[in-house]
């Protein structure tokens, strides 16, 4: 299964962590990044901190997506011969785009990132039912 994170964002937590990193430990900027810094009129340090915060968030998004993939694969196995081939988190649209195969048939569907975040935070049975409903529409029982 392939996991893709399309885009990045850095929230307050990541920015706070990046702000505490000594300048010498920030990743060096590439020539392309230095050009962006000049065009934007910001300091290299500010850009490096932003990139560092983005990388921290990217790592967290990958871990969250892996956790979702495990949950989703378990739920899909209950529906028969269904295997996830790709999960892409579209960061800007706040959604997971899932590609799977049901036997020989390719299947794709979208799950709201907010639904998954709320489910992981609360463990709510109603949110779990919402996820089940998404799967029912994507993989009707008679089609698998």
DSSP 55-90: HHHHHHHHHHHHHHHHHHHHHHHTTSSEEEEEEEEE
At 140, the pLDDT band (50, 70, 90 cuts) reads: confident
pLDDT tens digits along 103-137:
888 999 999 999 999 999 999 999 999 999 999 99
21: tokens are 């990193």
Check: CB of residue 85 under 8 Å from CB of residue 100.
yes
Contacts of 14 (CB under 8 A, 6+ apart): 53, 54, 56, 57, 60
Under 8 Å between Cβ of 98 and 87 = yes
Tell me the CA distances in angstroms from 73 to 7, 19, 65, 107, 136, one per residue in order: 24, 37, 12, 14, 14
Q: Determine whether 142 is exposed, middle or buried from the number of CB atoms within 10 Å of its CB (0-12, 13-18, 19+).
A: exposed
Q: What is the pLDDT of residues 81-94, one digit of tens each?
A: 889 999 999 999 99
Structure tokens at 17: 């962590």
Could you tell me the residue ranges of all domains in the chain?
A: 2-143
């Amino acid at each position: 299964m392939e996991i893709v994170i399309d885009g990045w964002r850095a929230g307050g937590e990541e920015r706070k962590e990046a702000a505490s990193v000594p300048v010498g430990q920030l990743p060096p900027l590439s020539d392309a990044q230095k050009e962006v810094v000049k065009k934007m009129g910001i300091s290299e340090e500010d850009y490096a901190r932003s990139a560092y915060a983005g990388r921290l968030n990217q790592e967290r998004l990958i871990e969250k997506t892996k956790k979702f993939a495990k949950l989703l694969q378990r739920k899909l196995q209950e529906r028969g011969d269904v295997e996830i081939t790709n999960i892409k988190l579209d960061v800007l649209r706040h959604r997971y785009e899932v590609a799977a195969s049901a036997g020989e048939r390719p299947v794709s569907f979208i799950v709201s990132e907010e639904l998954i975040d709320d489910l992981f935070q609360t463990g709510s049975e109603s949110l779990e039912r919402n996820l089940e409903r998404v799967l029912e529409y994507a993989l009707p029982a008679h089609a698998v």
